[in-house]
Structure 1
Amino acid sequence: MKNLLRLKKYLLRYKRKMLYGIVCIILTNIFAVFAPRFIGNAIDVLESPFVMSDVLSNVGLYILFAALGSIFLFLVRQNIIVASRIIEFDLKNDYYAHLQTLSRNFYNKTSTGELIARGTNDLNAVRDFLGPGIMYSINTFFRLFFAVIAMLTISPNLTLLALLPAPFFSYAVYRIGKSIQKRTKSIQESYADITALLQENISGIRVIRNYTRESHETEKFEKINQTYFRKNISLAKLQALFFAILTALLALSLIPVIWVGGINVVNGTMTIGDIAQFVIYVSMLSWPIISIGWVTNIIQKASSAQTRLNEIFDAKPDITDSLAMEDLPENVRGRIEFRDVSFHYPGNEEQDVLSNISFTIEPGSKVAIVGATGSGKTSLVNLIPRLYDPQSGTVLFDGRDIRTIPLANLRQHIGFVPQTNFVFSDTIANNIDYGVTTNSDHLDHIIEASRIANLYDDIMDFPDGFETMLGEKGINLSGGQKQRTCIARALAWKPELLILDDALSAVDTSTEAGIFEALLEKLPHTTLLLISHRISTVKNCDRIIVLQNGGIAETGSHEELLAKENIYAELYTQQLLEDEIQSIN
């Protein structure tokens, strides 16, 4: 229950609406509890020669009080339920905004389906607590309070008899409520498993079909779904038992009330109207008492859900800004320097991916990084925009330690095209224009970027040109077109440093050469850091850095490295042989 205290700031934010709702709950219950008085009076009037106007006036007052109670009940919902929806809106925005701040390492450990489940199912459970949960909890308290006072004014002895089952209610709520919380948490975890598997299968549907694994994945989903089903059935049985016990205890409490009340009527100490009122009050308590079980279920669900949400909200980004940071000056040049940098991934402290790396890339130069798979090429470039921080050593951007530059300011000067291409389900124009925040001519820089990326002609072949809508993950683009779209996106905001991490692997050599030539021509002052496995492209760079086992094995121009007849020369010879074999085939 303590975890629900995290919601206090949201409730205080809308305290006026919540207070109005509580006032309306009090008024609703006052009118609801007073209404039976008029029914009792009307019945007592009928016991002796009566005037019809007396009966009608009591019935009219009953209708009036019932109507006023209904009006205030409407206002209760307009305040508390509406406030819960507004808080849900704020919670979802805060949840999404917090996800944007978390580092890559968090997403390496947390599945997309899990995050979706917590942002939908768990947030809905919390909203149920903030709305119906709070509303019915407060309503139950005041309904019991006013109804018991009204019952005491009629007969303290009968009130005592009617409240005898109360300790049993409390015990049932306590014992069964604990079981409900455990089962609810287990259900929410199973729901997250279903969401994760569903998201993964939909994303990888083409792989599943290519390997004819439809039946296997269906069986896997059925097993997880069956577990989810069994847990829900188990919870439903427990809840049914809960409500059955509460209803039975309530019904049993009426027996002594009617029995003793009837004796009092015979003895003349009570009237039939008094008994009628009393029975109405006891029945009036039925929903508040039964709702204890329902509200308990809501609270237990919300408690489990908030625990899971708190795990996300409590997650802190590995890469953060410090108070001593200062923006880069306006004349950014794009100079990169590594000073004795060593790095290992979190959780794998025993193995350095990079070890004692030192080099400098001058502004405007074109530098390539090559090496065998696993040599640390991608890890190295990931350190520049601070996707990770090195454990030792320093990375400098224009002579400044990048850890002293605000993340947003640092990254707005870097165009980064990673190995994994991603395009949004939006128009091609909006995909290319995604990172641009200036007020420059919208279409001009998009066209220029697409031309440099050798994508313009492909776009013009689409019926809607730049306004062509892309399917999920760019399904209506080829692999090469997706790569070039991502390159155009990085070029559109004219970065001082452009990093291409094997971003030309899906295009042919002639297209790759055309893109590289366009980069040299159109962006002569942009520093280029290129990772590629093709010697045909990297040979045109000013300098080539060869990585091996996380360290720099050799560095130099294409001609200098060939003259050394070492690793780079072997890679070059091997690729020449592969190209020759391919041409023969």
Structure 2
Amino acid sequence: MKNLLHLRPYLLRYRRNIVFGVICIIVTNIFAVLAPRFIGAAVDVMSGSFTIADVLQNIGLYVLFAALSGFFLFLVRQNIIVASRKIEYDLKNDYYAHLQILSKSFYTATSTGELISRGTNDLNAVRDFLGPGIMYSINTFFRLFFALVAMVLISPQLTLLALIPAPFLSYSVYRIGKSMQQKTRSIQESYADITNLVQENISGIRVVKTYTREALETERFRKLNNTYYGKNLSLAKLQAMFFAFLTALLALSLIPVIWVGGINVINGTMTIGDIAQFVIYVSMLSWPIISIGWVTNIIQKAASAQTRLNEIFSTRPDIADGPDSSISDRPVQGRLAFHQVSFHYPGNRENPVLDKISFDIEPSSTVAIVGATGSGKSTLVNLIPRLQDPVEGSITIDGQDIRTMPLAELRRMIGFVPQNNFLFSDTIASNIDYGSTESNTDAVIEASRIANLYDDISDFPEGFDTMLGEKGINLSGGQKQRTCIARALAWKPKLLILDDALSAVDTSTEASIFKSLLDKLPDTTLILISHRISTVKNCDRIMVLKDGRIAESGSHDELLARESIYAELYNQQLLEDEISSLG
């Protein structure tokens, strides 16, 4: 339950609505508890000589007080339920905003389906607590309080008899409530598993169909859904038993009340109207007491849900701005330097991905990084925009350690095209212009020309306004890569990183793009990762990575002359090209 205390700032934000709602709860219960007195009065009037006017007067007052109770109940819902919706809105915004600042390592360890489940199912459970949960909890308290006061004023003896089931009720709520919380948490975890499976399958539907695994995936979903169904059914059975038990206790509590009350009427210490009132009050207690079980279920669900949400909110980004982050006022030149940089994944210190790497890259130069798969090329370039941080050493741009730069400013200097292309379900123009703070049609067109994409876009019926399907499904692999390159170029970065970003285009298109980059962005420092020697041979400098270290460095001709790793890669690719040409 302590986890629900994290909602206090949100409740304070809408305290006016909630306080006014509580006042209305008090008022509606006062009118609701006073109303039965007129029923009792009407019954007593009819016990002797009476006129229709006397009866109608009491009935009219009963209807008036019931109507006033209903009106203030409407105001309760208008304030507390509306406040819960506003808090839900704020929570969703804060949840999504928090996801945006978390580091790459968090998303590596957490599935998309899990995050979607927490942002939907769990937030809805919290909303139910903030609205109906709070409203009915407070309403139950005041209804019980006012009704008990009214009952005591009629007969303390009958009130004690009516409260006989209370200790059994309290114990039942405690024991069954704990079981409900455990079952609810298990249900929420199962829901996350289902969400994750659905998200994976829809995203990878082409792989599923290619390998004809539709039946297997359907069976996997059926098993998860069956588990989810079973857990929900178990909770529903527990709730049904609980509500039935509460209802039975309340019904049984009326037996001694009517028995003893009837004796008191015979003895003349009570009237029939008093008994009528008292039975109404006992009936009025039935919903508050039954709602204890319902509210308990809401609170247990919310507690479990908030625990899962707090796990996300309490996660801090591994990479964030330092307390003294600042950026130099000098224009960015693009000089990049690594100083004894090492990197290894947590718990794997004995096998570093990068091992004490040092190098300098001059402004406006072109540098290629080559090496075998797993040599650390992508890890190296991920360190530059601080998608990851080195465990040792430092990286500087124009002499300033990048860890002392504001993240937003650092990444604004860099155009980064990773290995895995991602395009949004939006227009081509919006995808290219994604990194810009303001829409700039000229920059979009220019970037598309440099990326050798403009002619392809012109062939589409709607040109730059063509809507892309999920992840750019209506583009070819080469068009996706070139769109991502254009996106990185649109804001004219001082440092451009292409991580194997030309693998899906042919050599002539690749050469055209490379030439355009050099001609149109002469002041940009270019770092290029590629497996093609034809791509990198024209770079000012080529660095060969092997086992996390720089094994060789120099120009294409210098490295060929050494007849080592680079020369071996070059000769191997020449042989592959000759074999392909013969085929």
* Shorter-chain TM-score tier: over 0.9
The corresponding residue for 1:479 is: 477
Whole-Å Cα distance in 2 between the matches of residues 329 and 122 of structure 1? Answer: 46
Equivalent in 542, 555, 558 of residue 557 of structure 1: 555
* Pairwise CA distance, 1:276: 0.5
Percent identity between matched residues is 76
Whole-Å Cα distance in 2 between the matches of residues 583 and 524 of structure 1? Answer: 35
* Pairwise CA distance, 1:349: 2.5
Whole-Å Cα distance in 2 between the matches of residues 537 and 152 of structure 1? Answer: 91
The corresponding residue for 2:494 is: 496
* Pairwise CA distance, 1:438: 4.7
Instruction: Report the residue type matching 1:476 in the other structure.
Output: N
Give the conservation status (yes or no) of the 8 Å contact 1:425–1:470. yes
The corresponding residue for 2:181 is: 181
Secondary structure of 2:474's aligned partner: coil
Secondary structure of 1:541's aligned partner: coil
Instruction: Report the residue type matching 2:505 in the other structure.
Output: V
1:447-491 CA distance string (max 9 Å, x none): 000000000000001000000000011010111101100000000
The corresponding residue for 2:454 is: 456
Secondary structure of 2:426's aligned partner: coil
Instruction: Report the residue type matching 2:217 in the other structure.
Output: E
Give the conservation status (yes or no) of the 8 Å contact 1:328–1:410. no
* Pairwise CA distance, 1:537: 1.1
Give the conservation status (yes or no) of the 8 Å contact 1:105–1:346. no
| Structure 1 unmatched runs, 5+ | none
The corresponding residue for 2:30 is: 30
Secondary structure of 1:577's aligned partner: helix
Whole-Å Cα distance in 2 between the matches of residues 144 and 362 of structure 1? Answer: 78
The corresponding residue for 1:74 is: 74
Whole-Å Cα distance in 1 between the matches of residues 303 and 560 of structure 2? Answer: 66
Secondary structure of 1:348's aligned partner: coil
Secondary structure of 2:390's aligned partner: coil
* Pairwise CA distance, 1:323: 1.2
Whole-Å Cα distance in 1 between the matches of residues 430 and 543 of structure 2? Answer: 35
* Pairwise CA distance, 1:346: 2.5
The corresponding residue for 2:228 is: 228
The corresponding residue for 1:542 is: 540
Whole-Å Cα distance in 1 between the matches of residues 268 and 556 of structure 2? Answer: 114
Whole-Å Cα distance in 1 between the matches of residues 234 and 348 of structure 2? Answer: 41
Secondary structure of 1:545's aligned partner: strand
Question: Structure 2 matches for 1:499-578, cutoff 5 A?
Answer: 499-578=497-576
Whole-Å Cα distance in 2 between the matches of residues 348 and 327 of structure 1? Answer: 34
1:29-63 CA distance string (max 9 Å, x none): 00000000001101111111112211111111001
Whole-Å Cα distance in 2 between the matches of residues 412 and 330 of structure 1? Answer: 15
Give the conservation status (yes or no) of the 8 Å contact 1:328–1:409. no
Secondary structure of 1:359's aligned partner: strand
Whole-Å Cα distance in 1 between the matches of residues 259 and 48 of structure 2? Answer: 24
Whole-Å Cα distance in 1 between the matches of residues 238 and 420 of structure 2? Answer: 48
Bigger mean CA offset, 474-483 vs 49-58 = 49-58
Question: Structure 2 matches for 1:97-116, cutoff 5 A?
Answer: 97-116=97-116
1:354-383 CA distance string (max 9 Å, x none): 001010010000000000000000000000
Whole-Å Cα distance in 1 between the matches of residues 253 and 46 of structure 2? Answer: 28
The corresponding residue for 1:413 is: 413
Whole-Å Cα distance in 2 between the matches of residues 345 and 528 of structure 1? Answer: 27
Whole-Å Cα distance in 2 between the matches of residues 203 and 350 of structure 1? Answer: 36
Secondary structure of 2:419's aligned partner: coil
The corresponding residue for 1:371 is: 371
TM-score, normalized by length of structure 2? 0.99
Instruction: Report the residue type matching 1:455 in the other structure.
Output: L
1:83-140 CA distance string (max 9 Å, x none): 0000000000110011011100000000000000000000000010000000000000
Give the conservation status (yes or no) of the 8 Å contact 1:342–1:393. yes
Matched, 1:208 2:208: yes
The corresponding residue for 1:192 is: 192
* Pairwise CA distance, 1:328: 3.3
Whole-Å Cα distance in 2 between the matches of residues 166 and 489 of structure 1? Answer: 67
Secondary structure of 1:285's aligned partner: helix
Secondary structure of 2:544's aligned partner: strand
The corresponding residue for 2:150 is: 150
| Structure 2 unmatched runs, 5+ | none
The corresponding residue for 1:244 is: 244
Question: Structure 2 matches for 1:122-521, cutoff 5 A?
Answer: 122-438=122-438, 442-521=440-519
* Pairwise CA distance, 1:353: 0.2
Whole-Å Cα distance in 1 between the matches of residues 421 and 195 of structure 2? Answer: 24
Whole-Å Cα distance in 1 between the matches of residues 303 and 244 of structure 2? Answer: 24
Instruction: Report the residue type matching 2:289 in the other structure.
Output: I
Instruction: Report the residue type matching 1:79 in the other structure.
Output: N
Instruction: Report the residue type matching 1:69 in the other structure.
Output: S
Secondary structure of 1:436's aligned partner: coil
1:525-564 CA distance string (max 9 Å, x none): 1000000000001001000000000000000000000000
Matched, 1:15 2:11: no
Residue-pair matches, total: 583
Whole-Å Cα distance in 1 between the matches of residues 91 and 461 of structure 2? Answer: 42
Give the conservation status (yes or no) of the 8 Å contact 1:84–1:127. yes
Secondary structure of 2:370's aligned partner: strand
Bigger mean CA offset, 14-23 vs 326-335 = 326-335
Secondary structure of 2:385's aligned partner: coil
Matched, 1:583 2:578: no
Whole-Å Cα distance in 2 between the matches of residues 328 and 255 of structure 1? Answer: 84
CA RMSD, aligned part only? 0.7
Matched, 1:119 2:98: no
Secondary structure of 2:375's aligned partner: coil
The corresponding residue for 1:44 is: 44
Whole-Å Cα distance in 2 between the matches of residues 198 and 347 of structure 1? Answer: 32
* Pairwise CA distance, 1:70: 0.4
* Pairwise CA distance, 1:329: 2.5
Secondary structure of 1:307's aligned partner: helix
1:271-310 CA distance string (max 9 Å, x none): 1111000000000000000000000000000000000101
Secondary structure of 2:47's aligned partner: coil
Whole-Å Cα distance in 2 between the matches of residues 345 and 499 of structure 1? Answer: 22
Instruction: Report the residue type matching 1:465 in the other structure.
Output: G
Instruction: Report the residue type matching 1:91 in the other structure.
Output: L
Instruction: Report the residue type matching 2:316 in the other structure.
Output: K
* Pairwise CA distance, 1:320: 1.2
Instruction: Report the residue type matching 1:551 in the other structure.
Output: R
1:387-437 CA distance string (max 9 Å, x none): 111111110011101011010010000000000000000000000000012
Whole-Å Cα distance in 1 between the matches of residues 349 and 179 of structure 2? Answer: 41
Instruction: Report the residue type matching 2:447 in the other structure.
Output: A
Whole-Å Cα distance in 1 between the matches of residues 347 and 185 of structure 2? Answer: 28
Secondary structure of 1:524's aligned partner: coil
Give the conservation status (yes or no) of the 8 Å contact 1:161–1:257. yes
Q: Which runs of 4+ in 1 moved over 4 A?
A: none
The corresponding residue for 1:60 is: 60
Give the conservation status (yes or no) of the 8 Å contact 1:498–1:527. yes
